[in-house]
């Protein structure tokens, strides 16, 4: 079909809209100083989307509508940087900054009056290199090993602070700029809150969150992560560069790139030190995380004569802030019981603000850790945040002890159910031995129903606790047998809330297999491993029948996981709960159709081996189950058919030995009428 002719007026209007939008994006994201309201911006944006969808020929790579990008990719390709991206040497105290300046002066053979420095806040994010050709953003890469990084162009396009076109009339033919992509505090908190609600582990810090967001295979995910970026260097340019770092910063600003705030040009190293110490105190007031200050020699001529070692430039250094520590008092030491029965001592603290949030608890992890730290009730302690998020006791201030402090001992009875606790030899974890322990059951059910697992809306702490206490449920399968009267007993439950919960339970009968697997709480099977397992084992029966060797063949499954899976399905109680769920109509396979009755394969058991040219394992299993058959993992006398593909395994031998019918793909197609 011939391309629709584009009227000149449409072309001109699109160009104008694009230019306007790019300017407003720059005002908003690079300068934080918008000149139009969000609504006005939206209306310009919508007009452009509309125009481009009528005339797709108008779409250009720098159009702001291209920010929500192309479909996910399978992996990143490698990109070689034009100029090696160096990293920085660190200084952790005043003395090391002065030593740096000493090296600079000696290296240049000049006196202190001849060298100026530029101090920039060191954003805690991910270094990126952006390439612009004739002003258009064409490529973006991570730092990688400094020489070769990963091509993350599609993801960077979704970051609003990355201009798709430089704002100058005559841009360099080719320029590579260096910057740092980071996640502002507010976006970080929002993202982690959301992850916690969904039962997904939160990111440890904004840096990891930024890295995880940039390395998404699906740019649409990156685009929702509210990333930002600052730039601070020119890696390569076909145009002459300015002669100082200070001018580079204003040059980058003129190109329309976002700069880090609060940079300063200082005449002496003493002033640079002062700058570092000031920001060490004031870092908390920023709405993004910095992990230090970068001090650079201002003159690029001097930079060039100083040169670099194989890793670091000799003309710059990163002053790293020490992690923030505060003192507070220990009010109590409590012991929690988790879903696996693990007893965890938790220190209750007098609330104290550390690195941007109020800390009230710190875990001691296990008995050994508690003994090593010897934290006592009534102690004064020093706390910090590991990885800047998880509160941790650094040490006890023993000098402050009065003798009235109460030492902690791991209890020998479960603090919840009173059962004996046990610490296996060679293990660090102390566990409650009662599988029916209220706390364990509670945590297991809560996990099963959580957003990341079976996602049963309304099955939160209060509901689960009430149902458990009333005896309406005793394990995860009981959820699927709940009756309205079980719920009406809970204070505050009315017609509507009861109907909502029962509706949510009903919907959960049809969740994907991996969610069910993850929800079961098999040790070492997190949501990722659950997905990995559901691929080669697309039904509960297949996974339950799998031996350790078979499991170990799966990419991403190690001995710990394999052992734990086999152990789990080997326990009668677990199989009882699974069968109870099966009877309640819970889907036990990776595919959607539930077992039909009266199908052509009703009651027949299949085992698959080898690769079928025409179907994936999942598709073949889907067809069999849809026709009433069942797919299992290993051949036995009870197997009706072994479906054989190319390169079959030992299952074929076994089938022959047992006299089980062997069918190939063509025969299978006939059987299923395709
Ligand atoms: S200059 C050749 N300036 O810190 C010099 N780096 O530890 C390259 N960073 O890889 C770095 N803010 O990711 C420089 N204002 C800043 C920075 C900065 C953050 C990061 C950058 C670099 C790392 C070095």
Atom of ligand 1 at shortest distance to CA of 143?
A: 10
| Range with the poorest average pLDDT among 189-198, 260-269, 594-603 | 594-603
| Beta carbons within 10 angstroms of residue 471's beta carbon | 9
Query: Over the stretch 628-637, which tens digit does the pLDDT of each residue have?
Result: 788 887 888 8
* Cβ of 120 below 6 Å from ligand 1: yes
pLDDT for the residue numbered 35: 78
What percentage of the chain carries pLDDT values higher than 70? Answer: 96
Contact status, residue 620 vs residue 663, Cβ threshold 8 Å: no
| Range with the poorest average pLDDT among 420-424, 614-618, 657-661 | 614-618
Q: Residue 546, CB half-sphere, CA atoms under 13 Å: how many?
A: 27
Catalytic residues: 122
> Which of 212-221, 338-347, 523-532 has the largest mean confidence?
338-347
Q: How confident is the model at residue 182 (pLDDT cuts 50, 70, 90)?
A: very high
Q: How confident is the model at residue 59 (pLDDT cuts 50, 70, 90)?
A: confident
Ligand 1 mean position to 62 CA, how many Å? 27
Q: How far apart are CA 208 and CA 205, in angstroms?
A: 6
Q: How confident is the model at residue 597 (pLDDT cuts 50, 70, 90)?
A: low
Contact status, residue 212 vs residue 195, Cβ threshold 8 Å: no
Q: How far apart are CA 39 and CA 345, in angstroms?
A: 52
| Range with the poorest average pLDDT among 109-123, 347-361, 489-503 | 347-361
Bridge partners (DSSP) of residue 406 are 377
Tokens of 189: 């908190």
Contact status, residue 520 vs residue 529, Cβ threshold 8 Å: no
Q: How confident is the model at residue 2 (pLDDT cuts 50, 70, 90)?
A: very low
Q: How far apart are CA 568 and CA 257, in angstroms?
A: 55
* Cβ of 313 below 6 Å from ligand 1: yes
Pocket test for ligand 1, best of 85, 90, 311, 318 (most atoms within 8 A of CB): 318
pLDDT for the residue numbered 287: 86
Q: How far apart are CA 222 and CA 408, in angstroms?
A: 46
**Which among 180, 184, 179 has a CA at the least distance from the CA of 209?**
184
Ligand 1 mean position to 90 CA, how many Å? 11
pLDDT for the residue numbered 593: 45
pLDDT for the residue numbered 198: 75
Q: How confident is the model at residue 40 (pLDDT cuts 50, 70, 90)?
A: confident
* Cβ of 671 below 6 Å from ligand 1: no
Atom of ligand 1 at shortest distance to CA of 312?
A: 2
Residue 423 has pLDDT above 50, yes or no: yes
List C-alpha distances in Å: 288 to 227, 261, 390, 494: 11, 11, 18, 44
pLDDT for the residue numbered 221: 87
Atom of ligand 1 at shortest distance to CA of 126?
A: 13
Q: How far apart are CA 154 and CA 238, in angstroms?
A: 24
* Cβ of 454 below 6 Å from ligand 1: no
**Which among 262, 78, 64, 260 has a CA at the least distance from the CA of 152?**
78
- Which residue stretches of 198-331 are H helix? 206-214, 219-223, 245-255, 269-282, 300-306
Cβ-count burial 521-551 (b if 16+ within 10 Å, e if not):
bbeebebebbbbbbbbbbbbbbbbbbeeebb
Q: How far apart are CA 469 and CA 23, in angstroms?
A: 61
Contact status, residue 362 vs residue 350, Cβ threshold 8 Å: no
Q: How confident is the model at residue 464 (pLDDT cuts 50, 70, 90)?
A: very high
Domains present along the chain, CATH in parentheses: 8-66 (1.10.287.610), 90-320 (3.30.470.30), 326-410 (2.40.50.140), 438-508 (1.10.150.20), 513-590 (1.10.150.20), 593-672 (3.40.50.10190)
The single-letter DSSP state of residue 57 is G
Q: Looking at residues 191-214, what average pLDDT do you find?
A: 82
Bridge partners (DSSP) of residue 317 are 295
What percentage of the chain carries pLDDT values higher than 90? Answer: 61
Q: How far is CA 211 from the centre of its chain?
A: 9
Tokens of 344: 């965890």
The backbone region for 307, taken as left when phi is positive above 0, alpha when psi lies in -120 to 50, beta otherwise, is left
Residue 414 has pLDDT above 90, yes or no: yes
Atom of ligand 1 at shortest distance to CA of 233?
A: 1
Contact status, residue 628 vs residue 602, Cβ threshold 8 Å: yes
Q: Looking at residues 367-387, what average pLDDT do you find?
A: 91
pLDDT for the residue numbered 32: 66
Contact status, residue 209 vs residue 146, Cβ threshold 8 Å: no
* Cβ of 122 below 6 Å from ligand 1: yes
Please give the mean pLDDT across all residues of the chain: 89
Q: Looking at residues 403-425, what average pLDDT do you find?
A: 94
Residue 200 has pLDDT above 80, yes or no: no
Residue 362 has pLDDT above 60, yes or no: yes
Q: What are phi and psi of 261, to 5 degrees?
A: -85, 165
The single-letter DSSP state of residue 28 is I
The backbone region for 628, taken as left when phi is positive above 0, alpha when psi lies in -120 to 50, beta otherwise, is left
Residue 210 has pLDDT above 50, yes or no: yes
Nearest CA to ligand 1 atom 12: 122
Bridge partners (DSSP) of residue 120 are 294
Pocket test for ligand 1, best of 87, 121, 126, 183 (most atoms within 8 A of CB): 87
Ligand 1 mean position to 431 CA, how many Å? 46
């Amino acid at each position: 079909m011939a391309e629709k002719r584009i009227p000149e007026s449409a072309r001109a209007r699109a160009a104008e809209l694009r230019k306007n939008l790019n300017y407003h994006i720059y005002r908003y994201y690079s300068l934080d100083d918008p000149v139009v309201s969000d609504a006005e911006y939206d209306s310009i944006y919508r007009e452009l989307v509309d125009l481009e969808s009528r005339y797709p020929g108008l779409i250009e790579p720098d159009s702001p509508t291209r920010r929500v990008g192309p479909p996910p990719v399978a992996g990143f390709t490698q990109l070689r940087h034009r100029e090696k991206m160096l990293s920085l040497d660190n200084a952790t105290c005043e003395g090391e900054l002065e030593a740096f300046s000493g090296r600079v002066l000696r290296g240049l053979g000049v006196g202190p009056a001849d060298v100026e420095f530029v101090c920039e806040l060191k954003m805690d994010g991910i270094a990126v290199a952006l390439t612009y050709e004739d002003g258009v953003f064409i490529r973006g890469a991570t730092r990688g090993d400094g020489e070769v990084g990963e091509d993350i162009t599609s993801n960077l396009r979704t970051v609003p602070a990355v201009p798709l076109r430089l704002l100058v009339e005559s841009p360099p033919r080719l320029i590579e700029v260096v910057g740092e992509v980071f996640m502002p505090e507010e976006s970080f908190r929002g993202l982690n809150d959301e992850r916690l609600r969904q039962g997904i582990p939160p990111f440890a810090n904004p840096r990891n969150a930024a890295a995880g967001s940039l390395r998404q295979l699906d740019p649409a995910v990156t685009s929702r992560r509210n990333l930002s970026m600052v730039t601070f260097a020119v890696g390569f340019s076909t145009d002459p560069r300015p002669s100082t770092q200070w001018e580079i910063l204003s040059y980058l600003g003129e190109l329309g790139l976002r700069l880090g705030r609060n940079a300063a040009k200082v005449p002496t190293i003493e002033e640079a030190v002062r700058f570092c110490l000031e920001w060490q105190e004031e870092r908390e007031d920023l709405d993004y995380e910095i992990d230090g200050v970068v001090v650079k020699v201002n003159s690029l001529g001097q930079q060039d004569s100083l040169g670099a070692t194989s890793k670091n430039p000799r003309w710059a250094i990163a002053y790293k802030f020490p992690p923030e520590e505060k003192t507070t008092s220990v009010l109590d030491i409590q012991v929690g019981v988790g879903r696996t029965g693990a007893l965890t001592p938790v220190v209750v603290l007098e609330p104290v603000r550390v690195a941007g949030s109020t800390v009230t608890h710190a875990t001691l992890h296990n008995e050994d850790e508690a003994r090593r730290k010897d934290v006592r009730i009534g102690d004064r302690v020093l706390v910090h945040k590991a990885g800047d998020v998880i509160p941790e006791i650094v040490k006890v201030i023993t000098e402050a002890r009065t003798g009235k402090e109460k030492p902690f001992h791991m209890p020998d009875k479960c603090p919840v159910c009173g059962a004996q606790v046990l610490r296996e030899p060679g293990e660090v974890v102390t566990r409650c031995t009662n599988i029916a322990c209220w706390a364990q059951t509670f945590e297991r059910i809560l996990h099963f129903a959580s957003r990341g697992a079976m996602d049963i809306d309304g099955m939160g702490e209060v509901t689960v606790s009430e149902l458990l206490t009333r005896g309406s449920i005793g394990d995860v399968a009981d959820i699927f047998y709940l009756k309205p009267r079980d719920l009406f007993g809970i204070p505050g439950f009315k017609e509507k809330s009861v109907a909502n919960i029962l509706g949510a339970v009903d919907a959960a009968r049809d969740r994907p297999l991996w969610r069910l697997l993850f929800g079961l709480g098999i040790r070492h099977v997190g949501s990722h491993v659950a997905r990995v397992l559901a691929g080669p084992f697309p039904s509960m029966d297949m996974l339950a029948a799998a031996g350790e060797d078979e499991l170990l063949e799966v990419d991403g499954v190690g001995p710990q996981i394999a052992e734990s899976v086999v152990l789990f399905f080997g326990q009668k109680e677990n199989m009882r709960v699974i069968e109870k769920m099966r009877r309640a109509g819970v889907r036990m396979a990776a595919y959607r159709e539930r077992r039909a009755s009266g199908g052509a394969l009703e009651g027949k058991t299949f085992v698959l081996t080898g690769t079928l040219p025409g179907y994936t394992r999942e598709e073949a299993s889907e067809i069999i189950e849809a026709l009433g058959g069942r797919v299992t993992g290993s051949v036995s006398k009870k197997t009706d058919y072994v479906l054989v593909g190319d390169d079959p395994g030992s299952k074929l031998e076994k089938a022959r030995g047992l006299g089980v019918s062997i069918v190939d793909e063509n025969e299978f197609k006939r059987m299923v009428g395709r």
